[in-house]
Amino acid sequence: MNQPDKEYLTVALPKGKLFGLSADLFAKIGYTAEGLSDQSRKLIITNEEKKIRFIVSKTADVPTYVEYGAADIGVIGKDVLLESQKDVYELLDLGFGKCHLMMAVPKDRKRARLADYANTRVATKFPHIAERFFSQYGMQMEYIKLNGSIELGPIVGLSESIVDIVETGTTLRENNLEEIAYIMDATARLIANRVSFKLKFDRISAMVQDLKTVMGQN
């Protein structure tokens, strides 16, 4: 990082479902910037007065920006964070973006026991988490990595099951899928680059404290 970067705190925010809630939360502690939006084509938005820079990136890329120090801190779902296997500090559970990871299958092709799916194909955005889950049961699976619309997998015969997140349950219902195994809960987390956390300790700690205050944690 060059010298001017040290003056700024760079925050990576994910596009999509977590963007609005993340931007609203930061705004409550005065971390705002004119034109900050996940629809904007401008990908770096700076608040010169407060020396804050926002990077708006694809959700799955937030842990990468933070691990490499291109962003000092970031907001990311626990599901994506675990799957990324990136080496970052997890500073705070932000509480929003609640969902859970689970395994689901087509209702009309449900098998009697979880073990009956051993050695079948699973479509998922989360192959690492899925593998960790199935290995607890001694199950070997074939993982098919998809980047979205995971529910299509079993419908079009690509896989027997899916491992994906559920928020409201609407997507499962609308596609005649049924949850058969719970894997883990997830919420949005505040993460930090390990070096930034040391170099900008005072600033980041003050920010975490302010976030806790507006979240009513103390």
Q: Which residues sit at the interface with ligand PRP, rule CB under 6 A?
A: 148-151, 164-171
Measured from the CB atom, the residue of 21 and 166 that comes closer to ligand PRP is 166
What is the 3-state composition of the chain as percent helix, strand, coil, each rounded to the nearest 5?
35, 30, 35
Least distance in angstroms from the C-beta of 218 to ligand PRP: 31
Task: Supply the minimum distance, in Å, between the C-beta of residue 183 and ligand PRP.
Answer: 13
Judged by beta carbon, residue 18 or residue 25, the one nearer ligand PRP is 18
- Structure-block tokens of residue 115: 């073990």
Query: Which is nearest to 160 in space by CA: 174, 138, 143, 139?
Result: 143
SS3 174: helix
Enumerate the β-bridge partners of residue 121: 142
Q: How far is the CB of 168 from ligand PRP (least distance, A)?
A: 3
Question: Between 87 and 167, whose beta carbon lies closer to ligand PRP?
Answer: 167
- Whose Cβ is closer to ligand PRP: residue 142's or residue 167's? 167
Of 30 and 169, CB closest to ligand PRP: 169
CA distance linking residue 185 with residue 183, whole number of Å: 7
CB atoms within 10 A of CB 163: 26
Shortest Cβ 54–ligand PRP spacing (Å): 21
Closest contact distance (angstroms) between CB of 165 and ligand PRP is 5
Q: List, in order, residues 6 or more apart from 94 with CB less than 8 Å away.
A: 21, 22, 25, 75, 187, 188, 189, 190, 211, 215
Which residue is at the shortest CB distance from ligand PRP? 148
